[in-house]
């Protein structure tokens, strides 16, 4: 039987020519909290990595017949004597807005990636000009730029330019691709191209100091509302809500069935090393980062730090998707959503990873809704473990997807699993567990073993799964399984009872 290929909610669009050893590609603009010495992407979302896409691009041309080049699906480069035209010079120019680098970011690595359709024996110079496209409109000004990166030939696929010397802090940057040889045009994919996986990218990674630079700070995280019941444990240290956020909100629309009166017993042979029962009345910022202002190319919502979208109440964490306009990554989108991670705060090599949660997804009202609990490696390289993905819609709502990835295209293994006993993820709270050790990965739903992977099933098991991974918990709107339609109901709540990690 032909099975529909699964693409994770958090995966980037397929790309060509990506080396498996490169750092995370950035797909958005939400800042990540990280610790000293850890290489991470600048913006969240993840996730073969995270990408910055151009906010503008054009071909700066000396040829009047080219007309308006600001909305073309291709950019062009060509020397001054191009196709025999003495005024044939063309420069492909791309403008990026870098505005979420933390104040304590160090060793920033920046790579400009631009797609070409053919191989050419052409030498291409990449120059960085601070400012917008207008700053790169003058050939004389480009010639005066000191920092220049060069490729001696153009390869079919993505071509990469190391622009780290120019991009070390927030700002507006324009990159100009100037052609020195081969007197005919080289065409590059622009941000207007209909194929999202061909768009230009600025890939950023960095390290951080142990503490932010004095006098500077990273974006604050607003707290959810006060708990409706008295906490049963001491509340962790938190920060006052941002004055620009609204503190009041409502509890989830669907109430949680009574939780066990006491904390479940630790499984035999395991010890609890990470736990959040969400009884403190707010997001525990010593454990979680909450992404803000991030728009990824793989979905249609904005990840926001807003108490309307992420809040703790009655012993539950709610990740709420809303149909409301929001601006992120220089785009206005019609949905807001929630994304938490533990990058720089908690990571684990092997363990038992467990979540007890209730999906919002019913067959007739959930198309385009996609909650998930998953793990990604601290080193930003290849590998992923999906404890559960719970996409909505009539073809997906009643199953849990378990998956592992080496790279997002094409190396993945995944399966959609029917719930034990004829249940489905939205009929109540269910427990999703992955046990990971040096020899295997095992998935459980409500205590029942449902899937196993090891080196016999997965040739790249040893390459992917012997390093620390951090946690990801998010609720995505839209993606490869479809976008919401008129039947999709908002607000939609992904409600989490607890997240726990055990180790032997």
Tell me phi and psi for residue 2, to 5 degrees. -70, 125
Kindly state whether residue 204 falls inside one of the protein's structural domains.
no
C-alpha distances (whole Å) from 192 to each of 69, 105, 187, 188, 198 are 11, 31, 13, 11, 10
Sequence-ordered list of residues with C-beta below 8 angstroms from that of 70, at least 6 positions apart, any chain: 56, 58
Could you tell me the strand order of the sheet in which 90-98 lies?
56-61, 90-98, 171-179, 124-130, 148-151
As to burial, measured by CB atoms within 10 angstroms (0-12 exposed, 13-18 middle, 19+ buried), residue 327 is exposed
Q: What is the DSSP string of 258-312?
A: PPPSSPPPPPTT-EEEEEE-S-SSS--TTT-EE--SEE-TTSSEEE---TTTEEE
* Res 10: pLDDT: 62
Residue 345 is part of a domain; what is its CATH number?
2.60.120.200
Tell me phi and psi for residue 420, to 5 degrees. -60, 145
Beta-sheet pairing, 369-377 with 157-162:
unpaired
> Are 385 and 488 members of one domain?
yes
Last residue of a domain, one of 149, 171, 199: 199
Give the separation between CA 329 and CA 350, rounded to whole angstroms.
35
Kindly state whether residue 460 falls inside one of the protein's structural domains.
yes
Three-state SS string over 68-133 comes to CCCCCCEEEEECCCECCECCCCEEEEEEEEECCCCCCEEEEEEEEEEEECCCECCCEEEEEEECCH
Coil, strand or helix: which one is 455? coil
Task: Give the helix/strand (H/E) hosting 462.
Answer: helix 461-464
Kindly state whether residue 156 falls inside one of the protein's structural domains.
yes
Kindly state whether residue 96 falls inside one of the protein's structural domains.
yes
Contact of 235 with 281, CB cutoff 8 Å: yes
Question: Which of these, 270, 281, 331, lies nearest to 302 by C-alpha position?
Answer: 331
Give the separation between CA 130 and CA 136, rounded to whole angstroms.
9
Kindly state whether residue 207 falls inside one of the protein's structural domains.
no
> Are 183 and 292 members of one domain?
no
> Are 323 and 465 members of one domain?
yes
> Are 289 and 409 members of one domain?
yes
> Are 478 and 354 members of one domain?
yes
Task: Give the helix/strand (H/E) hosting 369.
Answer: strand 369-377
* Res 9: pLDDT: 55
C-alpha distances (whole Å) from 124 to each of 135, 154, 188 are 19, 8, 12
C-alpha distances (whole Å) from 446 to each of 159, 354, 374, 393 are 47, 10, 17, 22
> Are 161 and 296 members of one domain?
no
* Number of domains the chain contains: 2
Last residue of a domain, one of 199, 231, 261: 199
Kindly state whether residue 4 falls inside one of the protein's structural domains.
no
Give the separation between CA 287 and CA 471, rounded to whole angstroms.
10
Contact of 44 with 31, CB cutoff 8 Å: yes
Kindly state whether residue 253 falls inside one of the protein's structural domains.
no
Kindly state whether residue 251 falls inside one of the protein's structural domains.
no
> Are 160 and 287 members of one domain?
no
Rounded mean pLDDT for each run of 10 residues along the chain, 504 residues in total: 49 40 34 34 34 87 79 88 83 89 82 93 91 80 78 93 90 92 92 86 77 39 35 35 36 40 76 96 95 93 96 96 94 96 97 98 94 96 96 92 87 92 94 98 96 94 96 95 94 98 98
> Are 191 and 276 members of one domain?
no
Beta-sheet pairing, 399-405 with 412-418:
antiparallel
Sequence-ordered list of residues with C-beta below 8 angstroms from that of 263, at least 6 positions apart, any chain: 277
Tell me phi and psi for residue 139, to 5 degrees. -60, -35
Last residue of a domain, one of 199, 227, 248: 199
* Res 221: pLDDT: 30
Give the separation between CA 201 and CA 335, rounded to whole angstroms.
24
Residue 66 is part of a domain; what is its CATH number?
2.60.40.4070
Give the separation between CA 244 and CA 220, rounded to whole angstroms.
11
Range(s) of the domain holding residue 85: 54-199
> Are 319 and 424 members of one domain?
yes
Contact of 110 with 156, CB cutoff 8 Å: no
Q: How far apart are the first and last CA of the chain?
A: 40
């Amino acid at each position: 039987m032909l099975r529909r290929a699964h693409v994770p909610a958090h995966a980037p669009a397929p790309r060509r020519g990506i080396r498996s050893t490169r750092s995370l590609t950035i797909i958005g603009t939400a800042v990540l909290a990280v610790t000293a010495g850890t290489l991470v992407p600048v913006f969240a979302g993840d996730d073969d990595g995270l990408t910055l896409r151009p906010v503008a691009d054009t071909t700066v041309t000396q040829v009047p017949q080219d007309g308006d080049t600001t909305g073309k699906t291709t950019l062009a480069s060509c020397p001054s004597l191009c196709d025999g035209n003495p005024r044939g010079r063309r420069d492909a120019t791309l403008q990026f807005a870098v505005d979420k680098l933390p104040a304590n970011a160090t060793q920033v690595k920046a790579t400009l990636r631009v797609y070409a359709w053919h191989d050419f024996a052409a030498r291409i110079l990449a120059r960085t000009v601070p400012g917008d496209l207008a700053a790169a409109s003058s050939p004389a000004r480009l010639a005066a730029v000191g920092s220049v990166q060069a490729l001696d030939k153009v390869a079919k696929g993505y071509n990469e330019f190391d622009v780290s010397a120019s991009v070390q802090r927030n700002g507006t940057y324009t990159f100009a691709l100037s052609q020195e040889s081969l007197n005919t045009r080289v065409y590059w994919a622009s941000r207007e191209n209909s194929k999202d996986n061909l768009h230009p990218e600025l890939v950023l990674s960095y390290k951080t100091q142990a503490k932010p630079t004095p006098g500077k700070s990273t974006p604050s995280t607003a707290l959810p509302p006060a708990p409706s019941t008295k906490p049963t444990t001491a509340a962790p240290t938190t920060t006052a809500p941002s004055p620009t956020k609204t503190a009041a909100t409502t509890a989830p629309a669907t109430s949680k069935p009574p939780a066990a009166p006491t904390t479940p017993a630790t499984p035999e042979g395991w010890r609890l090393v990470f736990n959040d029962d969400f009884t403190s009345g707010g997001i525990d910022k010593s454990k979680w980062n909450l992404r803000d202002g991030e728009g990824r190319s793989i979905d249609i919502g904005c990840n926001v730090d807003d108490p309307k979208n992420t809040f703790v109440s009655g012993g539950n964490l709610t990740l709420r998707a809303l149909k409301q306009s929001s601006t992120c990554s220089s785009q206005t989108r019609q949905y807001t959503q929630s994304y938490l991670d533990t990058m720089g705060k908690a990571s684990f090599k092997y363990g038992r990873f467990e979540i007890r949660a209730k999906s919002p997804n019913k067959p007739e009202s959930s198309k385009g809704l996609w909650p998930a609990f998953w793990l990604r490696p601290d080193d930003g390289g290849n590998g992923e473990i999906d404890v559960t993905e719970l996409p909505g819609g009539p073809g997906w709502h009643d199953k849990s997807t378990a998956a592992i990835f080496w790279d997002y295209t094409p190396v993945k293994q995944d399966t959609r699993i029917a719930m034990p006993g004829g249940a489905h993820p939205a009929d109540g709270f269910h427990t999703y567990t992955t046990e990971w050790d040096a020899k295997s990965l095992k998935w459980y739903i409500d205590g029942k073993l449902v899937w196993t992977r090891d080196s016999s099933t997965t040739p790249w098991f040893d390459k992917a799964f012997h390093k620390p991974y951090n946690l990801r918990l998010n609720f995505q709107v839209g993606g490869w399984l479809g976008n919401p339609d008129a039947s999709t109901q908002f607000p939609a709540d992904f409600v989490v009872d607890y997240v726990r990690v055990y180790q032997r």
